[in-house]
């Protein structure tokens, strides 16, 4: 299998771990930096491609893409990822829309709230004309202010006094920083990171903030320990990743006296959890990539088998995507939902209510797309 790792930090330990794990499993790996890529749209259908430092990479050059997108180059990376997944029809462990949503913290809260996943009280405003109103809506001081984009604890501050709140908000807005305010929830400066891969929580840890800080991120000096999630926490972590369309995600949860809330979903979770829990998350991601490719190959094989079956029974697919008897006049019967062959050169059709037969002596058409058979 050929794997393309689309990484904004090609030399990062996480990217290199994925590369090593893939190579250990016998795969060929190419790492591309988004800013080095040109996305090419051809005037011939099916010939769109990408160029990496002048070298053309076509859809047959790789089987799957594993994105590692954060920080500088992410916007370019999203564009390249969309080109790869949509124009070149290649599977990916993370889809471009999921990356876009996850890097916008307010958008993430909107999506989670829409599917009834509990998040802290949150408010966004284009300008702080009435800071006190914003603060009151999230429960008063202290409250948390976050830049819309940011990861690893960057762009997150706590506002504890009216003076600091007014000063901080005015400074952020005057510098054209998009921010939102969020309810400050008391959780003993701890949170939970659930690492989700392909609809499964493969690792989870509790993170504790460094003394004098409220951010529990390991990258900010916090510490971690392996824990087990409750069934409800596990279900919510998986639902959060699914809501954003992320096959790989880090879901951050706050445990509270009256339950728990999701505070963030990361499309490019760090691998510090591997050291804390002993779970090889890089291997889990590569295994997921393998399943994606196997699924695509199975789909292709099924389509090929159906095509061969139809041809062997004397049926062909026309330009208007209908299936007809070879050499027979085209007439529409109905929109049938299923079919099977019950004897040579005979098509047995069931539309949910009645049965019909089409033989080589008939002028019957089965008006459905071959790919849906």
Residue 169 banded pLDDT, cuts 50, 70, 90: confident
Q: Are strands 179-183 and 156-159 parallel, antiparallel or unpaired?
A: unpaired
Residue 364 banded pLDDT, cuts 50, 70, 90: very low
**How confident is the model over 113-139, as a mean pLDDT?**
89
Q: What does pTM read for this prediction?
A: 0.76
Query: What percentage of residues in the chain have a pLDDT greater than 70?
Result: 75
For 18, 30, 36, the CA distances from 63, given in Å and listed in that order, are: 16, 11, 20
- Per-residue burial over 38-47, b if 16 or more Cβ lie within 10 Å, else e, is ebeeeeeeee
**pLDDT of residue 162 exceeding 70:** yes
Residue 153: what pLDDT? 52
Residue 204 or 215, more confident: 204
**How confident is the model over 102-120, as a mean pLDDT?**
95
**pLDDT of residue 65 exceeding 50:** yes
**pLDDT of residue 272 exceeding 50:** yes
CATH of 2-101, one of 3.40.140.10, 3.40.50.20, 3.40.50.300, 3.40.50.720: 3.40.50.20
Average pLDDT, the chain: 81
Residue 149 or 66, more confident: 66
84: which residues sit within 8 A by CB, 6+ positions away? Answer: 4, 6, 50, 65, 90, 92
Domains 2-101 and 121-184 share a fold: no
Q: Kindly report the three-state secondary structure assignment for every residue of the chain.
A: CEEEEEECCCCCHHHHHHHHHHHHCCCEEEEECHHHEEEECCCCCCCCEEEECCEEECCCCCCEEEEECCCCCHHHHHHHHHHHHHHCCCCECECHHHHHHHHCHHHHHHHHHHCCCCCCCEEECCCCCCHHHHHHHCCCCCEEEEECCCCCCCCEEEECCHHHHHHHHHHHHHCCCCEEEEECCCCCCEEEEEEEECCEEEEEEEEECCCCCCCCCHHHCCEEEECCCCHHHHHHHHHHHHHHCECEEEEEEEEECCEEEEEEEECCCCCHHHHHHCCCHHHHHHHHHHHHHHHHHHHHHHHHHHHHHHHHCCEEECCCCCEEECCCCCCECCCCCEEEEEECCEEEEECCCCEEEEECCCCCEECCCHHHC
**pLDDT of residue 166 exceeding 60:** yes
**How confident is the model over 235-239, as a mean pLDDT?**
98
d(CA 36, CA 125): 36
**How confident is the model over 165-174, as a mean pLDDT?**
82
The CATH number that domain 121-184 falls under is 3.30.1490.20
**pLDDT of residue 117 exceeding 50:** yes
Residue 41: what pLDDT? 95
Q: What are the pLDDT digits (tens) for 83-102?
A: 999 999 999 999 999 999 99
Residue 333 or 305, more confident: 305
**pLDDT of residue 314 exceeding 50:** no
Residue 296 banded pLDDT, cuts 50, 70, 90: confident
**pLDDT of residue 209 exceeding 70:** yes
**pLDDT of residue 342 exceeding 70:** no
Residue 300: what pLDDT? 61
**How confident is the model over 155-170, as a mean pLDDT?**
85
Residue 44: what pLDDT? 87
Domain coordinates in residue numbering, the chain: 2-101, 121-184, 313-372
**pLDDT of residue 179 exceeding 90:** no
Residue 227 banded pLDDT, cuts 50, 70, 90: very high
Task: Determine the length of the chain.
Answer: 373
**pLDDT of residue 261 exceeding 90:** yes
**pLDDT of residue 29 exceeding 70:** yes
d(CA 68, CA 271): 12
Structure tokens at 318: 């026309």
**pLDDT of residue 249 exceeding 50:** yes
Residue 339: what pLDDT? 37
Residue 354 banded pLDDT, cuts 50, 70, 90: very low
Residue 142 or 46, more confident: 142
Residue 351: what pLDDT? 39
**pLDDT of residue 311 exceeding 60:** no
Residue 13 or 326, more confident: 13
């Amino acid at each position: 299998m050929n794997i393309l790792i689309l990484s904004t930090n090609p030399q990062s330990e996480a990217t290199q771990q994925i590369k090593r794990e893939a190579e250990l499993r016998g795969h060929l790996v190419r790492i591309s930096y988004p800013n080095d890529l040109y996305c090419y749209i051809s005037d011939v259908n099916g010939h769109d491609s990408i160029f990496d430092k002048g070298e053309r990479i076509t859809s047959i050059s790789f089987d799957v893409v594993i994105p590692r997108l954060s920080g500088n180059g992410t916007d370019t990376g999203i564009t390249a990822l969309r080109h790869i997944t949509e124009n070149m029809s290649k599977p990916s462990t993370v889809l471009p829309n999921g990356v876009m949503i996850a890097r916008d913290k307010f958008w993430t809260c909107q999506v989670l709230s829409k599917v009834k996943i509990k998040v802290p009280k949150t408010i966004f405003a284009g300008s702080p004309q009435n800071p006190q109103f914003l603060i009151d809506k999230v429960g008063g001081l202290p409250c948390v202010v976050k830049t819309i984009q940011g990861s690893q604890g960057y762009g997150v501050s706590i506002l504890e006094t009216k003076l600091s709140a007014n000063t901080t908000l005015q400074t952020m807005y005057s510098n054209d920083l998009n921010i939102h305010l969020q309810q400050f929830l008391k959780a003993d400066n701890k949170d939970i990171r659930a690492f989700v891969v392909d609809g499964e929580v493969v690792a989870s840890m509790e993170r504790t903030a460094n003394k004098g800080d409220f951010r529990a991120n390991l990258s900010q000096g916090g510490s971690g320990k392996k824990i087990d999630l409750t069934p409800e926490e596990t279900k919510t972590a998986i639902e959060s990743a699914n809501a954003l369309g992320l096959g790989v995600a880090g879901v951050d949860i706050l445990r509270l006296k009256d339950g728990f809330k999701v505070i963030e979903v990361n499309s490019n979770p760090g691998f510090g959890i591997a050291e804390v829990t002993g779970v090889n998350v890089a291997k889990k991601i590569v295994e997921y990539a393998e399943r994606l490719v196997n699924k695509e190959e199975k789909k292709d094989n099924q389509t090929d088998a159906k095509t061969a079956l139809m041809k062997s029974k004397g049926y062909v697919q026309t330009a208007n995507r209908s299936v007809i008897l070879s050499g027979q006049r085209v007439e529409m019967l109905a929109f049938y939902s299923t079919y099977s062959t019950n004897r040579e050169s005979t098509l047995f059709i069931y539309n949910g209510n009645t049965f019909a037969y089409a033989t080589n002596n008939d002028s019957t058409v089965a008006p459905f797309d071959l790919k849906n058979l």
